[in-house]
Copies of this chain bind each other. A is one copy, B any other.
Amino acid sequence: MNRIINIALLGFGTVGAGVIKILTTNSDKITPKIGAVVNVKKILVRNPQKVRDIKFDGEITTDFEEILNDKDINIVVEVMGGEHPAKEYILRALQAGKNVITANKDVVAKYGKELFEAAEEPNVDLMFEASVGGGIPIIRPLKQCLAANEITEVMGIVNGTTNYMLTKMTNEKIDFADVLAEAQSQGYAESDPTADVGGFDAARKIAILSSIAFGTRISLDDVYVEGITKISSQDIEYATELGYVIKLLAIAREDENGIDVRVHPAFVPSTHPLATVSDVFNAIYVRGDAVGETMFYGRGAGQLPTASAITADIIDVARNTMHNVNGRILCTCFEEKKLCNINNTQSPYYIRILVDDKPGVLAAIAGAFGAQQVSLNSVIQKRRVNHCAEIVLITYNVTEANVRLALNTIKGMSVVNEVENVIRVVS
């Protein structure tokens, strides 16, 4: 007779229902791996009257205390989303000596330190594989499989909505506004798309990934963020011509200048492993001193992929419970490290400028860059519009501060109509 491990879900939305589905459908695979049966004893919901299209035989409750005070419940799985009261519930569950699994990137990115500290004394597990990359195994690979490495770079496409939009803009030559409207009607983008298109969702995820990769706590405020709202079909056309694809990247790098963490659109060479990651797919590229380049690819969102990651955490915590070793691997942020300000980062840049179509203008612009030590790799005069000419420049690897100074000068020139876009290039 198998032992029973009782768990509770906080939330019975799409992802919660996915966890129930997997635990039901694949119980014959899961039970022997643990040596115990996972039983969902209670689910916390807001509205118990709501009709759900999934069968659940356990108890439905609206009272968190009922779960907290249930001594049989070993694992609390937070799938309600949002910052509050999710954070408070997670904290109290940990303090009550319960193991916690969460898919909540907002809470982990913002309160990770506090929650991990709370897990220490009662020695319970706190797992969050689903918080980044949906079903893609990435937290455990970073914490365990690549643990022997000094990680120097994590670079990911970690937001499915924007990747879907950029893929569509690239393949079908549609403008940002149109593709956003289409993504909203398909349910790929929310009615308020700011978290996705503004880069903030990706920022939370790279804060989590970089904390693990570099062994130091990176908070959301440490991440420099630019979204994709300024990307036009013109930029995409030039990128294609030049052998690149535009992706919203979450980038974290460590070198002698410190840790540099940022989210922004980028020109990715079409030969880079991330270049072919299309539609709603996500991928995380990791570079370590021993392993070299690795990449992890899959579905970054969706009911079952997310529930796959959560259920893997349930299996892992249950295995720990069976061996009495909960809290075996907790926070791995052992060091304090300095951050590198965005002004001190280096990159090649793509710059698109609309100027008066007159002799001498190109020389003036090149001169302004030169005065700030910004060397130009290529300068192409593109289409002419009315009395204007569009100039596309790619710089060599240069410092952000210098680019900004040069662009300030250029913006002040009477022959310059507009600096239309500035996009970093992945080298």
Binding site for B on A (CB under 8 A): 18, 22-23, 25-26, 29-30, 32-33, 129, 135-137, 140-141, 144-150, 215, 273, 276, 288-299, 302, 304-305, 307-309, 311-312, 314-316, 319, 323-325, 328-329, 332, 334
Contacts and interface: CB of A to CB of B under 8 A. Distances in A.
B315 A144 contact: yes
Interface of A is mostly: mixed
A150 B148 CA distance: 30
Contacts of A294: 135-137, 296-299
Name the 10 nearest CB pairs between A and B, nearest first.
A137-B145, A148-B311, A294-B298, A290-B308, A135-B291, A295-B297, A291-B308, A290-B304, A32-B334, A137-B141
Contact of A298 (B18, B22, B289, B292): B292
Contacts of A325: 323-325, 328
A32 B216 CA distance: 12
Report copies per complex. 2
A18 B137 CA distance: 26
A129 B314 CA distance: 22
B296 A296 contact: yes
A131 to B, nearest CB: 14
B304 A292 contact: yes
Nearest to A276: B276
Nearest to A139: B145
Contact of A26 (B23, B141, B148): B148
Contacts of A136: 294
Given A292-B298, A323-B328, A312 B147 contact: yes
B148 A312 contact: yes
Given A29-B150, A297-B273, A325-B325, A145 B312 contact: yes
Nearest to A141: B137
A316 B308 CA distance: 23
Given A289-B25, A305-B292, A325-B325, A144 B312 contact: yes
A276 B274 CA distance: 10
A273, A297, A298, A305, most chain B CB atoms within 10 A: A298
Contacts of A32: 215, 332, 334
Contacts of A22: 148-149, 290
Nearest to A314: B148
B290 A33 contact: no
A30 B141 CA distance: 15
Given A297-B295, A298-B293, A129 B145 contact: yes
B292 A149 contact: no
Given A23-B148, A148-B312, A292-B299, 11 more contacts: A26-B289, A32-B332, A136-B294, A137-B145, A144-B312, A291-B298, A291-B309, A292-B305, A294-B296, A295-B298, A319-B329
A148 B289 contact: no
Contacts of A150: 25-26, 29
Contact of A315 (B148, B289, B295, B315): B148
A266 to B, nearest CB: 19
Contacts of A315: 144, 147-148
A293, A294, A316, A323, most chain B CB atoms within 10 A: A294
A307 B290 contact: yes
Contact of A137 (B25, B146, B311, B329): B146
A377 B228 CA distance: 42
A386 to B, nearest CB: 40
18 contacts: A26-B290, A29-B150, A30-B147, A32-B215, A33-B147, A129-B145, A137-B144, A141-B141, A144-B312, A145-B312, A147-B315, A148-B308, A273-B276, A288-B308, A292-B302, A292-B304, A296-B297, A323-B328
